[in-house]
Amino acid sequence: MSSMEDDFSDYTLGVVGCGTMGVAILSGIHDHIASSDSSKVKSLPSKFIATVASEESAKSLVQTFDKDLGAGAVDVAWGNGSNVDLARKADMILLCCKPQVASVILTDPAMQEALSGKCVVSICAGVTIRQLLEFTVQHAYIIRAMPNTPCRIREGMTVISPSYNTPKHFVTLTQNIFSTLGRCRRLDERHLDAVTALSGSGPAFGCVVLEAFADGGVMMGLPRDVATELAAQSLQGAARMVLETKQHPAAIKDGVTTPGGCTIAGLLTMEDGKIRSTLARTIQEAAKVAKSLGGS
């Protein structure tokens, strides 16, 4: 373990249940290291271990890492004892399993012992810090994180929430890791169910809106591929304007809405369909389900 608070270059990151999000995170770290100077590389781990549930998954993961990250960049293991062995070797453990499996993995006495003094970063939706501390009998420091699927293309949004006793350097390292995948911010845990619904499930909801826009374009004679491209770029452009100009979405909307024009006609049609309340209620309902996922 590094002796300098902000030098994590000799840290080992272990990913338990390395599926789509685990691969995205490891790829993001690797790409950042490959494109950065030596001073920035110190902000991230340099050694990586990943575990999966089956031999078939392990072979697939080895091929993925050999192709995308370079041979030998990640040690892959599976089978009995692999998670415990990972926890013994790693300084930080990223828990990427399904929420209902978290307790099975973490309550293993050998795992609890191996996690002593380590940091567990959980992306398991709905599993609370309190539960994670109980699972690990408070031997480990806990950070909850909620990334989303756009992390795969470095346009992700991640929110983290550390336990009360987590040392600052583990929080810093977690922020460094997820910042390689897009944006990262820290919030109190009480907000994480809403975060799960809004940014975790949000890309799916946004794609429904995008698809509907494209359908409208097709109905008016545009080829499907053209309509999809126009819809996607329009939504991406609007989102980037909000993020980069810091303007309220309503201000950007008003800038497009001229008196008696086509935009106001379309907006009124949207209001007729109660789209605002429907989309807002969508987040509300998704947040309720997110809260129940961990069985808390």
Q: Which of 146-150, 178-182, 274-278, 289-293 has the lowest mean pLDDT?
A: 289-293
pTM, to two decimals: 0.90
Q: Which residues are annotated as a binding site?
A: 83
Q: Which residues are annotated as a binding site for NADPH?
A: 83
| Domains of the chain (ranges, CATH numbers) | 12-193 (3.40.50.720), 201-294 (1.10.3730.10)
What token pair was written down for 256? 């497009």
Percentage of the chain lying above the pLDDT 70 cut: 94
Q: What is the mean pLDDT of residues 12-28?
A: 93
Are the C-beta atoms of residues 150 and 157 closer than 8 Å to each other?
yes
Q: In which element (H, E) is residue 290 found?
A: helix 275-292
What token pair was written down for 69? 């990250």
Phi, psi of 81 (to 5 degrees): 85, -5
Burial class from Cβ neighbours inside 10 Å (0-12, 13-18, 19+) for residue 72 reads: exposed
Q: Are strands 47-52 and 92-95 parallel, antiparallel or unpaired?
A: unpaired
Q: Could you give the residue ranges of the DSSP H alpha helices within 192-274?
A: 192-195, 202-219, 224-245, 249-256, 262-272
Distance (Å, whole) CA 194 – CA 243? 20
Q: What is the mean pLDDT of residues 118-131?
A: 94
Q: What is the mean pLDDT of residues 244-272?
A: 97
DSSP state of 199: I
